[in-house]
Amino acid sequence: MAISVATPFSPNHQPFCFPSSSTQFLKIHHFHNQRFIPRIPFSSFRNNNPLPETECPVPLDQQPVNEFKALSDSFPFSWASGDLVEYCSRLFATGLAFALFVGLPVNLFGSAGPIPEPLKPFLGAVSGGLIVVTLSVVRMYLGWAYVGNRLLSATVEYEETGWYDGQIWVKTPEVLARDRLLGSFSVKPVLSRLKNTLVVLATSLLVCVVVFVNIENGQTDSYIPSEEAGGRSVPGVYDDESARSFEPDAFCGGEPADP
C-alpha cells in the first residue's frame, strides 16, 4: 500500500508514492481565485480504530492524527482551515456583531458625561470588535500550533490513566511520515494564515489608537480658558453663568467679583 500525494509543484500534478501500510490520500487543490488548505480523508479513523500494524499504545484521543481531526471539526478552529473568503467573512461578522451590540452601546451610554466628539464612540466600538477578533485568532493559533508540534514531532507524549503516568512513544517510520506530511501540507498553511491575520489586526488597532490620540489632543487644545466672563470660562465645561446658578453665594450681588 502507499500514500498517494498530489502536489501542485509538478507540471502535470503527477502523484508520487510513499510507502505505508495504510492507504491515505492527501490532495492539494488549487483554485484560481481562492486559497484552499488541503485535508486528508479520515475513513480509516471513522470507527476510531488505531493502526493495527503499529500497535500504538497511545490512547485514541491523544494520537496526533485524531487530535488534528478533532481540531479541524471544532469551533472556531475549523474556520482557519476552510476557504479564505469564508474565513475572513466569519471573522468580520464576529467583530462587527460585537462592535454593534456591545461596543457601541457601552461607548454611547456608559460614559459619565456628554461626549463632544461623535467619532470617539465609533472608534471605541471598532477597537472592541478588533480586540475580540484578535483574541479569537490568538486562541486558534495556539490550538493549531500545539497540534502541529505534535504531528511534526518524532515522539508522542501521552497519559494512560492520569497525569501521574506520563509515557513517551516513538513513532514508527510509517506513522512519522504520515504525520509530517499532514503537518507540512495542512497545519503549516493554517498557521501562516493566522499569522497574517494577526498582523492585519494589529495594524488596524494601531490605526484606531493613533486616530483616538489625535482626537484627544484636539479636544485638549480646544479647552483653553476664554478671556470672556472674567477669564473663568472653559467651553463645554465651566462658565460663570452655570456657576452662579449652583453657587449664588460665591458672587457678590449676583455679579462676578472684580479681579
Answer whether residue 258 is part of any domain. yes
Q: Are 195 and 134 in contact (CB under 8 A)?
A: no
What's the mean pLDDT in 155-164?
A: 82
Residue 190 CB: number of other CB atoms within 10 A? 25
Same domain for 164 and 70: yes
pLDDT classification of 161: cutoffs 50, 70, 90: confident
* Most confident among 46-50, 161-165, 216-220 (mean pLDDT): 161-165
Any idea which of 12-21, 110-119, 194-203 has the lowest mean pLDDT?
A: 12-21
Number of domains in the chain: 2
Cell of 162: 492520569
Same domain for 184 and 256: no
What's the mean pLDDT in 203-209?
A: 94
Q: What residue numbers bound the domain in which 229 lies?
A: 225-259
Same domain for 174 and 97: yes
3-class DSSP assignment, residue 237 = coil
**Residue of 26, 10, 19 whose CA lies nearest to 182:** 26
The C-alpha atoms of residue 5 and residue 185 are separated, in whole angstroms, by 10
**Residue of 105, 120, 123, 179 whose CA lies nearest to 147:** 179
Answer whether residue 17 is part of any domain. no
Residue 218 has pLDDT above 60, yes or no: yes
The C-alpha atoms of residue 191 and residue 145 are separated, in whole angstroms, by 7
Q: What is the mean pLDDT of the chain?
A: 75
Answer whether residue 36 is part of any domain. no
The C-alpha atoms of residue 255 and residue 10 are separated, in whole angstroms, by 91
Answer whether residue 93 is part of any domain. yes
The C-alpha atoms of residue 243 and residue 254 are separated, in whole angstroms, by 11
Answer whether residue 73 is part of any domain. yes
pLDDT per position as a tens digit, 33-62 = 345 666 655 544 444 444 444 578 888 989
Same domain for 173 and 251: no
**Residue of 192, 212, 205 whose CA lies nearest to 132:** 205
Answer whether residue 27 is part of any domain. no
Residue 28 has pLDDT above 80, yes or no: no
Residue 229 has pLDDT above 60, yes or no: no
Same domain for 204 and 102: yes
pLDDT at 243: 67
Same domain for 181 and 90: yes
What's the mean pLDDT in 175-181?
A: 94
Same domain for 134 and 64: yes
pLDDT at 239: 63
Q: How far, rounded to the nearest angstrom, does the alpha carbon of residue 179 sit from its chain's CA centroid?
A: 26
Same domain for 196 and 115: yes
Same domain for 174 and 197: yes
3-class DSSP assignment, residue 166 = strand
pLDDT at 109: 79
Same domain for 128 and 164: yes
Greater confidence (17 vs 141) lies with: 141
The C-alpha atoms of residue 66 and residue 192 are separated, in whole angstroms, by 22
The C-alpha atoms of residue 144 and residue 106 are separated, in whole angstroms, by 33
Residue 116 has pLDDT above 90, yes or no: no
Answer whether residue 139 is part of any domain. yes
**Residue of 98, 81, 104 whose CA lies nearest to 185:** 81
Same domain for 123 and 233: no
Answer whether residue 48 is part of any domain. no
Residue 222 has pLDDT above 60, yes or no: no
Same domain for 247 and 144: no
